[in-house]
Amino acid sequence: MAVHAGYTHLPDSARGFSVALGNFDGVHAGHRAVIDAARIDGAKLGVATFEPPPRAHFRPNDPPFRIYRPARRNARLIELGAEAVFELPFNTDMASMTDEEFCRNVLHEGLGVTHVAVGFDFRFGRGRMGDAARLSSLGRSLGFSVTVVEKIETPDTAKASSTAIREALIAGEPRKAASMLGHPWIADGIVERGERRGHTIDFPTANIHLGELIHPRHGVYAVKARIDRAGDWLPGVANFGRTPTTGMRDPVLETFIFDFDRDIYGHPLEVELHEFLRPELHFPSLEEMIEQMKKDTEQARAVLAGA
């Protein structure tokens, strides 16, 4: 599988794909339906997405909103059978294209697509001027076919959308987010050296900053963690927030992995959020915080025993 950063000067082997086209942040049920619609007999399956997302271009001062980093998104697309991922650069030039220019310059002349699949609410072109019906019309004139996928509903009847997933995480509802993603949401990063306060109270934590990833509700979660993107998922409990008892700071995800004593500073860490246990609190004393952390650990163990 190849990842192509752009749509120009592609080798012949990277042209002529049937592509699923969209943002694909989270690769949720709706995205998977669009990818399935791009599976055409005799055609190579590709995914074309925008990098950075249009929202980052138009609203650069927004809070972090990515559900997954590009590498995790691309890995998920590989798992789903994509033979190529095309990261279309969303910049001033891309934003200024008309819908017709986008179809001609990017899809037809650049990627040489044979077929395109999009969601029912896909918009493209300057000022979001083009919709799925317009894409179908332009595709006919340029020689590629188009499939439009209708809205997908999840078991809890919520529309499967990146917005709904973000709202669930911000509300502290990781199970709801997982129902739309098809698996628990994963935060990832490189373990950083902190103040090592956890070591002094027998709760050593592996700390990561989420950076461009969406910030879930501040509080304590039952989690599973994996080191170096390999091996087993290990049970634990994590706090995401500013740690008001020991000193306010930028939000950090602090994960206490049960029955684990390896030094993993500098290692990649993945953390699945399984259940929200309680909001982040300010405790009058360190002793009271430690007592609550013991209770959090017991509750997380109980939750994960059935996960």
- pLDDT tens digit string along 56-106? 999 999 999 999 999 999 999 999 999 999 999 999 999 999 999 999 999
Domain that holds residue 98: 2-149
CB-CB contact of 208 with 192 (8 Å): yes
Distance CA(167)–CA(162), nearest Å, equals 9
The CA–CA distances, whole Å, from 214 to 170, 200, 210 equal: 8, 30, 7
Identify the pLDDT of residue 159: 67
Last residue of a domain, one of 149, 173, 196: 149
Distance CA(50)–CA(90), nearest Å, equals 6
Distance CA(292)–CA(256), nearest Å, equals 14
Is residue 235 left, alpha or beta, with left meaning phi > 0 and alpha meaning psi from -120 to 50? beta
Q: Comparing 11-25, 171-185, 204-218, 279-293, which segment has the lowest mean pLDDT?
A: 279-293
Please tell me whether residues 174 and 296 are part of one structural domain: yes
Residue found under tokens 């909103």: 65
Mean pLDDT: which of 12-26, 139-153, 191-205 is highest? 12-26
Last residue of a domain, one of 149, 170, 185: 149
At residue 47, φ and ψ (nearest 5 deg) are: -125, 130
Give burial (CB, 10 Å; 0-12/13-18/19+) of 126.
middle
More confident residue, 172 or 282: 172
∠ CA 9-36-75 to the nearest 5 degrees? Answer: 60
| pLDDT band per the 50, 70, 90 thresholds, residue 243 | confident
Last residue of a domain, one of 149, 170, 193: 149
Identify the pLDDT of residue 203: 86
Residue range 234-252: average pLDDT? 83
CB-CB contact of 300 with 223 (8 Å): yes
Digit-coded pLDDT (tens) for 94-119: 999 999 999 999 999 999 999 999 99
Distance CA(53)–CA(27), nearest Å, equals 14
* Residue 157 domain-assigned (yes or no): no
Residue range 122-138: average pLDDT? 97
CB-CB contact of 280 with 241 (8 Å): yes
CATH number for the domain spanning 24: value is 3.40.50.620
Distance CA(121)–CA(145), nearest Å, equals 18
- Whether residue 202 has pLDDT greater than 90: no
Q: How many domains does the chain have?
A: 2
Instruction: State both tokens at 219.
Output: 């509080």
Digit-coded pLDDT (tens) for 30-56: 899 999 999 999 999 999 999 999 999
| Residue 66 bridge partners (DSSP) | 213
Q: What percent of the chain is modeled with pLDDT above 70?
A: 93
Please tell me whether residues 35 and 88 are part of one structural domain: yes
Helix axis angle, 162-170 to 174-181, nearest 10°: 160
* Residue 156 domain-assigned (yes or no): no
CATH number for the domain spanning 229: value is 2.40.30.30
Distance CA(91)–CA(118), nearest Å, equals 21
CB-CB contact of 244 with 282 (8 Å): yes
Identify the pLDDT of residue 157: 43
CB-CB contact of 289 with 283 (8 Å): yes
More confident residue, 201 or 148: 148
Digit-coded pLDDT (tens) for 159-194: 678 999 999 999 999 999 999 999 999 999 999 986
Residue found under tokens 């996928």: 149
Please tell me whether residues 167 and 279 are part of one structural domain: yes
Please tell me whether residues 138 and 177 are part of one structural domain: no
Residue 128, SS3? helix
Distance CA(254)–CA(289), nearest Å, equals 15
Distance CA(247)–CA(267), nearest Å, equals 25
Please, what is the average pLDDT of the chain? Answer: 92
